Amino acid sequence: MYRSHNCGELRETHQQAEVTLSGWVQTVRDKGFVVWADLRDRYGITQLIFDEERSSKEIMEIAKSLGREFVIQVKGTVIERTSKNPNIPTGNVEVLVSEIKILNKSLVPPFTIEDQTDGGEDIRMKFRYLDIRRNPVKNNLIFRHKVAIEVRKYLSDQGFIEVETPYLIKSTPEGARDFVVPSRMNEGQFYALPQSPQTFKQLLMVGGMDKYFQIVKCFRDEDLRADRQPEFTQIDCEMAFVEQEDILNVFEGLTRHLLQEIKGVSIDKFPRMTYDDAMKKYGNDKPDIRFGMEFGELNPIAQHKDFGIFNEAELVVGIAIPGGAAYTRKEIDALVDWVRRPQIGAKGMVYAKYNDDGSFKSSVDKFYDQEDLAKWAEATGAKTGDLICVLSGDTNKTRTQLSALRMEIAQRLGLRKKDEFAPLWVIDFPLLELDEETGHYHAMHHPFTSPKPGQLELLDTDPGAVKANAYDLVLNGNEIGGGSIRIHDKQMQSTMFRHLGFSPEEAKAQFGFLMDAFQYGAPPHGGLAFGLDRLVAILGGQETIRDFIAFPKNNSGRDVMIDAPARIDDLQLKELHLKLDL
């Protein structure tokens, strides 16, 4: 038996007990006649004591030879500590060692295995198995487990069945490139790894499963913007005989359950906002509504005044920064520089200070009098002491820029509080999105999303205006989930593929199986998927999903620990009938 107790278990009530512990040596303090070692495992740390008077010579020798991260097994007696450590649960006791066995030695680890480590991100990723021994990473993995268990419990209680779907499939368009896998047995042919189990979950509905879920890996080969992973995990769900309202209710229930169970936070009904409103008020389809700073559109009050830049703009829009009137000239200039950075891309920023005495001072005083500026204040909800920041230009771009400014300011002002949770449903998304580069429309969600009733005719005349039965769940400014009511009719699905630029042959080749299935009694259905990694990170009050993934990839999609991706040998290539052309 390697252990009678774990390293987080012993208390004063265990005094005089003979125990066996196993774990890793965190630290050794050698005072000559007495040696202390901290023994660590997943559950905690227990102090071991070896002393010349009570321990044998051999044991003292072994104790003095211990290095960091050695794996040892000890037997000994639990005794009261003379100097207690109130910071750890086992801090009142120590184990006087009577037997010790080194189970495995360790090289000196490349960074300290402590909560605050001296190891940078790169080295910790390379030695991720050592990083996982640290509390912050270990606790995140345990936290993730708890969330996953709660998800399974809740959905199972609601009658959902977890069904596995295959990984070696055919392309499912979710807006990214596919990772592909060559098939040895089918020369020249490739599987695609699922960007999501979308088509399979729909087929499960045709198969009568009624309520499906799966905690499942998805794979998307996209340029890895900050904090994306090429493989990530979804809580994927689908339901038959449902309308949008049914789905929102179930998954609002799930989210509420998680907030309650995991965070002890109870939240009433989640607000809902249309996509159009979200864009208008926050310039963003995943607004963080933990704080205000709503957009105020200024076109009617700021245009036609002689200020050419505004007159030429499609949109003139501002926000009020709380307390911003106190900013110095230098601070305001820094804000202007911030919005002009290439990542944000604004040409400039107009501002107006709403002074405490009720007067205004703006960067465009030449064109706007106090009365005009009072209207700006009204439109942006500015109060005395605030700074009104105004951007202008193309509607979409300007909204995106102002949204970035809003988030930046909120961050700086500490308004994005970790322990505050503000969920929101964004509904009525457009069905299609114009790709500015190609001039083609593509599905905003995915091609299986149904248009809102009665909007089908618009597809021919004004495709960009068609609204979808699609919804996203937003939490604290992050999209944590999204889904839609699906098309379940072969004819309508063909029409949709046609609008998305698929020829009938292409649609048949790629999705014939789904359209065929629709001919055999497909029930009305819909669903959604939550991004588990992001959800866990937000619930955990942290920023990066990487911190909640045991073995994440870096920004170039590499696993630096196992060194993947990697070349394969010529024989493997040959078997796959592949030749490299580099």
Give me the residue whose beta carbon is nearest to ligand ASP: 196
Q: How far is the CB of 425 from ligand ASP (least distance, A)?
A: 14
Q: Tokens for 226, please give them.
A: 């900050």
Strand partners, 559: 564
Report whether 534 belongs to an annotated binding site: yes
Strand partners, 427: 274, 471
Q: How far is the CB of 273 from ligand ASP (least distance, A)?
A: 19
Helix or strand (DSSP H, E) at 47: strand 44-51
Q: How far is the CB of 486 from ligand ASP (least distance, A)?
A: 8
Size of the site for ligand ASP (CB under 6 A): 9
Half-sphere exposure of residue 36, counting CA atoms within 13 Å on the CB side?
Answer: 11
Report whether 222 belongs to an annotated binding site: yes
Dihedral of CA atoms 373, 375, 381, 383 in degrees, nearest 10, equals 50
Cα gap 274→285, rounded to integer Å: 9
Q: Tokens for 351, please give them.
A: 């501002």
**Does 390 engage in binding with ligand ASP (CB under 6 A)?**
no
**Does 196 engage in binding with ligand ASP (CB under 6 A)?**
yes
- State which residue, 198 or 244, has the beta carbon closest to ligand ASP: 198
Cα gap 520→171, rounded to integer Å: 23
Q: How far is the CB of 449 from ligand ASP (least distance, A)?
A: 7
- State which residue, 26 or 484, has the beta carbon closest to ligand ASP: 484
**Does 240 engage in binding with ligand ASP (CB under 6 A)?**
no
Interface mask (CB under 6 A) for ligand ASP, residues 498-537, using x and -?
A: -----------------------------xxx--------
- State which residue, 46 or 195, has the beta carbon closest to ligand ASP: 195
372 close to 310: Cβ distance less than 8 angstroms: no
Q: How far is the CB of 145 from ligand ASP (least distance, A)?
A: 23
Interface mask (CB under 6 A) for ligand ASP, residues 354-373, using x and -?
A: --------------------
CA 494 to chain centroid = 34
Burial class (CB in 10 A: 0-12, 13-18, 19+), 567: exposed
427 close to 339: Cβ distance less than 8 angstroms: no
How big is the chain, counted in residues? Answer: 582
- State which residue, 23 or 447, has the beta carbon closest to ligand ASP: 447
Q: How far is the CB of 70 from ligand ASP (least distance, A)?
A: 46
Among 23, 173, 324, 482, binds ligand ASP (CB under 6 A): 482
Helix or strand (DSSP H, E) at 332: helix 329-340
Is the link from the previous residue into 453 a cis peptide, with omega within 30 of 0? no
Report whether 531 belongs to an annotated binding site: yes
Per CB under 6 A, which region of 39-47, 356-364, 482-490, 492-500 contacts ligand ASP?
Answer: 482-490
423 close to 475: Cβ distance less than 8 angstroms: yes
Interaction site with ligand ASP (CB under 6 A): 174, 196, 198, 482-484, 527-529
Residue stretches of the annotated binding site for ATP = 220-222, 229, 479, 531-534
